[in-house]
Amino acid sequence: MKGTIIMENIELGAVQERFADLVWANEPIASGELVQLCEKELNWNKSTTYTVLRMLCQKGLLKNEKSLVTSRVSKEEYYASKSERIVNDSYKGSLPAFIAAFTSRKKMTAEEADEIQKMINAFRNA
């Protein structure tokens, strides 16, 4: 766990998530290198990169110290929290209801079912 950030306060739009994904994939990254990467990957100019970086630092997701950008929250922590919000907001906190809705439109493979069963077994044995 990277830090003790209150994850409920960190919600990102699609573009901000793409930016965060670039940081997570390349961290630690010098802010100048991040500008070049965003120009190449997102077609952003320098000021757009620094504006979004500042916003995500204010939200507590990233930090920029001495021109070195790193995350305060890991990618796994962020997406786990986002998943929890979806289940809570859309399915009244019911994981079975979420899985039922998800699998009603997308067939689960045998491998996915086995993986989920392993998680359930590990939970029961913990």
For 88-120, what is each residue's pLDDT tens digit? 999 999 989 998 898 888 888 999 989 999 999
Number of domains present in the structure of the chain: 2
Q: Identify whether residues 66 and 126 lie together within a single domain.
A: no
**pLDDT beyond 70 at 122:** yes
Q: Identify whether residues 51 and 109 lie together within a single domain.
A: no
Q: Identify whether residues 66 and 18 lie together within a single domain.
A: yes
- Look at residue 49 and tell me if it is in a domain: yes
Range of the domain at 111: 94-126
- Given a contact cutoff of 8 angstroms between Cβ atoms, the answer to whether 70 and 26 are in contact is no
Residue environment code for 93-125, b if the CB has 16+ CB neighbours within 10 A, otherwise e: eeeeebeeeeeeeeeeeeeeeeeeeeeeeeeee
- Look at residue 34 and tell me if it is in a domain: yes
Rounded to two decimals, the pTM is 0.76
Q: Identify whether residues 27 and 54 lie together within a single domain.
A: yes
Band of the pLDDT at 10, cuts 50, 70, 90? Answer: confident
Q: Identify whether residues 102 and 67 lie together within a single domain.
A: no
* Backbone dihedral angles phi then psi of residue 124, each to the nearest 5 degrees: -65, -30
Q: For 5-15, what is the mean pLDDT?
A: 72
Summarised one tens digit per residue, pLDDT across range 33-78 is 999 999 999 999 999 999 999 999 999 999 999 999 999 999 999 9
What is the C-alpha to C-alpha distance for residues 91 and 111, in angstroms, rounded to an integer?
25
What is the C-alpha to C-alpha distance for residues 5 and 3, in angstroms, rounded to an integer?
6
- Asked if the peptide bond before residue 96 counts as cis, ω within 30 degrees of 0, the response is no
